[in-house]
Structure 1
Amino acid sequence: MVGAATNGREGVELAEKLRPDVITMDYEMPVMDGISAVREIMRKHPIPVLMFSSLTYEGARVTLDALEAGAVDFLPKNFEEIARDNSQLQKILIERILDVARSRPGNRSPAPSRAEPSTPASRAPEPAGRPRPEPAPRQRPDTRAPAAPAGSPGETEAPRRHGRRGPAKHYAVVGIGTSTGGPVALQRVLTVLPATFPAPIVLVQHMPASFTPAFAERLNKLCRIEVRQAEDGDVLRPGLALLAPGGKQMMVENRGGQARIRILPGDERLNYKPCVDVTFGSLARSFPGKTLGVILTGMGSDGKEGCRMMKQSGSDIWSQDEKSSVIYGMPMAVAKAGLTDDVLSLDEIGPRLAEGVC
C-alpha cells in the first residue's frame, strides 16, 4: 500500500496503519519534525526509513541525528547532486528504496552516548607505546583485484567464527570500513574504546564531503579516544582515529618509520569516495602482517579486495555478522570470499578491540 503524509504526526499514524515496506522522510515538516517521527515509528512499529537531507553542515547534523534515531540511509534533497537526468534519478531512487526496504529495522537501536565506565570493555589496557612500523616505498592507489594465492579460500567458503578469544595481539594500525548503517555502528564501537587505546585507527565511511566534518566532531565529543577528519600529512598515533574526508581518497604512507595520511582527489573511475579498498590496500602495503581490518555494515562489496590484500600480507580481518548488520553487503562479501578471521556481532567488536589489542 502507498500513502502520503502532510506532517510528521500524520506520518507516524499512517506508518502504523499501512505498515509499508519503506518510508521516505524529510526533516522539515509541520506538527512533528522528521527526527521525532522516526523515533516514534521505531518505538511503535519499526519500518525502514530513508531520509532526505540538505548537503550542508546543518543538514549533516540533522541527518546524523535521524540515523541515530533509527533511519537507515539518506539521499540529498537536491536531486541534481546525485543524478544528471530524470532517468538516472529514477534508477538511483528505485535502487536505494529497494535496498533500504531489505534492511533490518531491529538492528538500529540508538547508539550509546558514551561507554559506561562499569562495563568490562571500559577498563583501560596498559599503553603499549607508539607503534614502530617498517619503512615501505610510496605507492599510488591500486584498486585492481589482486590474484588470490594458491590454496586460498574460494568465494563461497563459509566464514569462520571463533568462540574463544586468543591472547592480545599488537597491531600497528586498525582500519575500519563501513557504509549504510555505519554512523551508528562506528559510534557503538568507538565509544567503548579507552583513551589509552594503543593503536592508531583509520576510518572509512561512505559519506558526502559536507557530512564527514560534522560526523568526526560528533564522534570526538562522544568518545574517549580523539576522533577527527583526516588531513593530508597527519601522523598516525595511538588513541587517535582519523576519518577519511568525503569526496576524496585516503591512503596511509609509511616512510622512514613514520606513518602519515595522504589525501588524494576522488578518482572518478571509483564508485566510492572515500573507498575502503583504496585505504585498506595502502595499509596492506605499509604494514604487512601488522594490520587489523574491520568491515562493518554496508551495501555493496567495497573493502573485499582491500581485505584480500591485507590477508595476503599476513594481517587479520574481522567482519560484522548478518544478524547485527543493517545491510549485510560489505561484511558478507568479505566473509564469502573466505577472508574473515572472526565474524562478530556489533556489540562484540568494541570490547574485543578494547581487551584484545595491545
Structure 2
Amino acid sequence: MPEKKIRVLIVDDSAVVRQVLTQLLSKSDAIEVIGSVSDPIFAMARMNQDWPDVIVLDVEMPRMDGITFLKKIMSVRPTPVVICSTLTEKGAETTLQALSAGAVGIVTKPKAGLKSFLEDDSADITHAIKAAAQTDMRRMKAMTMSLSTAGHATPANTALKSTLQPRDQQHTSSLAMSSTTDRLIAIGTSTGGTQALELVLTKLSRICAGIVIVQHMPERFTAAFAARLNTLCEIEVKEAESGDRVIPGRALIAPGGKHMSIKRSGAQYHVEVQDGPLVNRHKPSVDVLFRSVAKWAGKNALGIIMTGMGDDGARGLKEMLNEGAQTLGQDEKSCVVYGMPKEAVKLGAVQQEVPLQAISGHIERYSK
C-alpha cells in the first residue's frame, strides 16, 4: 500500500514563489500540493473545503498578515505551518513572532535570485515540510500557551543583568579558573526547539553553568533568536562568536549556517565558530558540538538532546557519555517531534529521559 502523501497548501503573495514551490514540491513522491493562494483570505476559503496537512506561509502579505492568520489557525484547528521568510533583519524578527505563535519551521528566501535559490535549496524545503508533518500539534499548542502565560524576566531583572554584565566580563578570570572547567552544559535541538529552549532558559538563574546550544535554524535568524531570549532570561544569551568564553550565567547559541565547537585553553572553555560541510544535513550540527564537548570537557559536561526530527546529535551524545559526561533526553510525551531523542535512546546515549518542564531543574542541580 503506497504511503500517504503530505498535503501542502502554499500561501504567498508572490506568484513566482508559488509557482516555483509548487514545481519543486511536486517532484517529491511524499508531497502533494493541493493549492497555492495569494493571501490568507483566499487560504481560509480554500481550507474550508479541503484542509491541508502542512501550510507553507509567507508572513508579509496584503489584506491579512501571516502572523494573524497563524494565530487563527492555532485557535481553530492547529496545523503545522512552515514560514517562508525573507533573509532580512525585519524578516527574522517577524519569523520569531511566528515561531512563538506556533509555527514549526522556517524556509528562507532572498530578495533577489529567488528562483535559483529555491531550486538550489529544494532538499531543505522538502525536509522542513516532512519535519512539520511529523509535528504533534497538541503538544505544540500546549507549549505555545505555556509561553504566553509564563512569567519571564521582569524589566528590573533585565536592567540588573545589563548593569552586572560589564563587571562579569572584567572579573571572569578567577571565576573561570574555579568553576567553568567543572561544569559545562551542551544542548541540541531542532523542530519545536525554539519554544522548548525558551521554556528552559527563562527558568534558569545566573548561577547556572555555562551553556552551549545548537538549534537548527537558518542564517541570520539565530542572532534575532538569541537577542530575544536575552531580553526574557535572567542569564545572558547571545549568538556565539569565535573566542567567546563559556562562563556561568551565559548561553551561547551557534550561528545559523556555521558549525560551533568548544575548545579548552588551560582552565577555560571557549567556542570556535567556523564554516564547513553539512553534517547530518545540518549546519550548525549538534554532533559537531557534542563531539567537541566529549573531547574537551568529558566528565565535566552535561549533554541534553531535545525535540527534533532526524538523528543529529545522537552519536555525539554517545561519545559524550563514553567520555564520562552525564546525558539527558527530552521524553516522548513532551516532544513536538520525538526524533532526535529517540535516536539517541536507541544508541544507548541517554542516561535519563525527562519531561521538558523538568530540564531546567536538572540544569540548576547539575550546576550546583
Question: What TM-score, normalized by structure 2, do the two folds share?
Answer: 0.77
Distance 2:124 2:256 in 1: 19
CA distance change for structure 1 residues 357 and 256 in 2, over 3 Å: closer, same or farther?
A: closer
Does the CA contact (< 8 Å) of 2:187 and 2:306 recur in 1?
yes
Report what 1:112 is aligned to: 147
State the Cα deviation string for residues 23-79 of structure 1 (Å, max 9, x = none): 121112222211111111011111111111112221111111111111111212345
- Quote the Cα distance in structure 1 between the aligned partners of 2:55 and 2:151: 33
> Which residue does 1:302 correspond to in 2?
312
Match of 1:217, SS?
helix
Alignment match, 2:248: 238
Deviation at 1:115, TM superposition (A): 5.2
**Correspondence list, 1:244-323, <5 A:** 244-267=254-277, 271-323=281-333
Gaps of 5+ in 1: 123-128, 136-170
Are residue 56 (structure 1) and residue 66 (structure 2) matched?
A: no
Partner AA of 2:96 in structure 1: L
Q: Does 2:55 match 1:23?
A: yes
Aligned residue type for 1:336: K
Question: Greater CA deviation, 266-275 or 210-219?
Answer: 266-275
State the TM-score, normalizing by the size of structure 1.
0.79
> Are 1:19 and 1:47, in contact at CA under 8 Å, matched by a contact in 2?
no
Pairwise CA distance, 1:130? 4.4
CA distance in 2, matches of 1:15, 1:348: 38
Tell me if the contact between 1:174 and 1:291 (Cα under 8 Å) persists in the aligned partners.
yes
Q: Find the aligned partners of 1:234 and 1:300 in 2 and give their Cα distance.
A: 29
The unaligned stretches of length 5 or more in structure 2 are 1-6, 8-33, 158-174
Q: What is the CA-CA distance between 1:354 and the residue it aligns to?
A: 3.0
Q: Could you tell me how far apart the structure 1 residues matched to 2:61 and 2:274 are? A: 39
TM-superposition CA deviations, 1:285-326 (whole Å, max 9, x none): 111211111111112111011101101111111111222222
Q: 1:81 to 1:207 in 2, by over 3 A?
A: farther
* CA root-mean-square deviation: 2.6
Q: Distance in 1 between matches of 2:236 and 2:272?
A: 19
Deviation at 1:233, TM superposition (A): 1.0
Q: Which range is displaced more, 5-14 or 180-189?
A: 5-14
Residues 236/98 of structure 1: CA separation in 2 closer, same or farther (3 Å cut): closer
Q: Distance in 2 between matches of 1:294 and 1:81?
A: 34
* Equivalent in the alignment of 1:216: 226
2:207 aligns to what?
A: 196
Q: Residues of 2 paired with 1:95 and 1:269: CA distance?
A: 15
Residues 40-79 of structure 1: pairs in structure 2 closer than 5 A: 40-77=72-109, 78=114
| Structure with bigger RCO (C-alpha 8 Å, 6+ apart) | 1
Deviation of 1:221 after TM superposition, in Å, equals 0.7
CA contact (8 A) 2:315 2:347 kept: no
1:149 is matched with: none
Q: Kindly tell me: are residues 287 and 354 of structure 1, through their superposed partners in 2, closer, same or farther at Cα, counting changes over 3 Å?
A: same
Give, in whole Å, the separation in 1 of the partners of 2:235 and 2:149: 11
Return closer, same or farther for 1:99/1:249 CA change in 2, 3 Å cut-off: closer
Distance 2:115 2:362 in 1: 41
Q: State, as a whole percentage, how many aligned pairs show the same letter.
A: 39
C-alpha displacement of 1:15: 3.6
